[in-house]
Amino acid sequence: MKKPHSLDEAGLQRALAALRRVVREKGLRASSARERVALAALRYGGHFTVEDLVRRSKDERLEETHASTVYRTLPLLLEAGLLEEIRVHRDEGTFYERAFEREHHDHLVCVGCGAVVEFHSEEIEEVQREVAVSFGFVLTGHSHELRGTCTACRERGRESRA
Amino acid sequence: MKKPHSLDEAGLQRALAALRRVVREKGLRASSARERVALAALRYGGHFTVEDLVRRSKDERLEETHASTVYRTLPLLLEAGLLEEIRVHRDEGTFYERAFEREHHDHLVCVGCGAVVEFHSEEIEEVQREVAVSFGFVLTGHSHELRGTCTACRERGRESRA
DNA sequence: TTGATGATGAATGTCATTTTCAATAAGGAG
DNA sequence: CTCCTTATTGAAAATGACATTCATCATCAA
C-alpha cells in the first residue's frame, strides 16, 4: 500500500537531465513543450492516461500542449526511463506511471472492481534473468500483470448468489 | 523451439464442445459462423491477428465470415479457453494463439528482430500464486512478457558499431 | 410449423493514435 | 549576431481497431 512519494525538485531536475540526454543522443533539439509534458507526467502519483496528461497541462494553467505533441513525447519519456507503460485497468486503454527513481514493481489487478495492487518479487526477477540467459537474450524490460478477484469481490459474488 | 502441433480431428471436436458449452451457458444459440471462426483459429500454428482470421476464412474458400462477426466471436473463444490473447510483436496490435489443450507458456521477445521464444517456469507460476494469496486474491489469469535482444541482434549491433 | 429472439452481413460510428502540413523555433556556421 | 537548415509544434485530417446499428436470416422451443 506504500504510496510512491513524488520526486522533489532535485529529482525533477535529474529526470529532466535524463530526458535531455536521450534527446541529445538522438540528435533532436531541446524544447519547452517536451519538458512541460515530462514535468506534468512526473508529478502524477499514480496511474494516468495520455488524456490525463493533456488535460492536466490545461488545468494547471501551464501553457497548453496539444495531444499530438504529448503522443510524440511519450516514447522519449519511456526511453529516458521517466515513465513506464502499464496495461492494468481492464479495457480502459493504456496507462502510464512514473518509473524514474522508483523501485520496479508489477501489478495485481482485480477483474471485479479494478483495484490495483503493486508487488515485487526478487525471486521472479531472478528467474526472468535466468530464462533470458538460457535463450541467449539480454533483458531490456518486461511486463507482468496478474489478474484475479479480491476478497471483497468474491464475497460480493457469494451474496448475490445466495 | 518446440512447435505446437495442431489439434487432431478429435481435439477440434473437443474444442467445439467447449465452445458450445460456453454458448449454451450464456443462453446463446448455436451458429455455423461461430464454429467456422473457431476452426479457422484453431488451425493456426502460431500467432495471428483478427485480420488474419478474417482473411483466412476467405483464402480457404470457406464461407466468408465478416470482421464484425469475428470480433463478436473472439470473446467467446477466449472464455471457452480455445484462444489466448497475447501482446508480443512490438506495436503490431493484438495477437492470439491457441490455448486449448496446449500447455501454458509466456513469451520472450527480441526487440531487435521480433523473434518470439516461448518459455515456462513453474517457479514463477508458484510465486505468482503466493503473491496473489498474500493479497487475498484468487488468480484468474496473467500476462507476462519479457523483452530483450537476442544473440544475433547483439552481434549485428556490434558489427555496425565497428 | 411457427413465432420469438438471437445471429449475421453490411454499413456506419467511435475513439485513440498517427500523419500531414504550414508556420515557428533551435542551434550551428559564418 | 544573423542566416540557414532542419526539428518542432498546433491544427486538422487520416488511419485503424473495434463497437454499434439495423434489416434480414436462422435457430429452436412450443
**For A107, which residue in chain B has the nearest alpha carbon?**
B142
Worst-scoring range by mean pLDDT, A11-25, B60-74, B133-147?
B60-74
Q: What is the secondary structure of A71-137 as a DSSP string?
A: HHHHHHHHHTTSEEEE--STTS--EEEE-TTS---EEEEETTT--EEEE--HHHHHHHHHHHHHTT-
Task: Give the model's confidence band at B162: pLDDT under 50 very low, under 70 low, under 90 confident, else very high.
Answer: low
**B9 exposure class (CB count in 10 Å sphere: 0-12, 13-18, 19+):** exposed
Could you tell me which of A74, A45, A145 has the C-alpha nearest to residue A105? A145
Worst-scoring range by mean pLDDT, A25-39, A57-71, A108-122?
A57-71
Mean pLDDT of A99-121: 93
Q: Which CATH number fits domain A104-162: 3.40.50.1820, 3.30.1490.190, 3.90.550.10, 3.90.1150.10?
A: 3.30.1490.190
What Å value separates CA B68 and C1' D25? 16
Residue that is written with C-alpha cell 478474417 in the block: B54
- Strand D closer than 7 Å to the CB of B72? yes
- Residue B161 has a pLDDT of 56
Per-domain residue ranges for chain B? 1-102, 103-162
Pick from A119, A139, A148: CB nearest B146: A139
Task: Give the model's confidence band at A2: pLDDT under 50 very low, under 70 low, under 90 confident, else very high.
Answer: very low
Residue-wise burial string across A111-148, b where 16 or more C-beta atoms lie within 10 A, e elsewhere: eeeebbbbbebeebeebbeebbeebebebeebbbbbbb
What class has domain B103-162?
A: alpha beta
* pLDDT single digits (tens) B52-78: 999 987 766 667 899 999 999 999 999
- Residue B12 has a pLDDT of 95
Partners of A146 on chain B (C-beta within 8 Å) are: 128, 131-132, 137, 139, 141-142
Length of chain A: 162
Beta strands in chain B (DSSP E): 83-86, 95-98, 106-110, 116-119, 138-149
Please check whether the domain covering A1-102 is classified as CATH 3.30.160.100: no
Interface check for A133 against chain B (CB to CB < 8 A): the answer is no
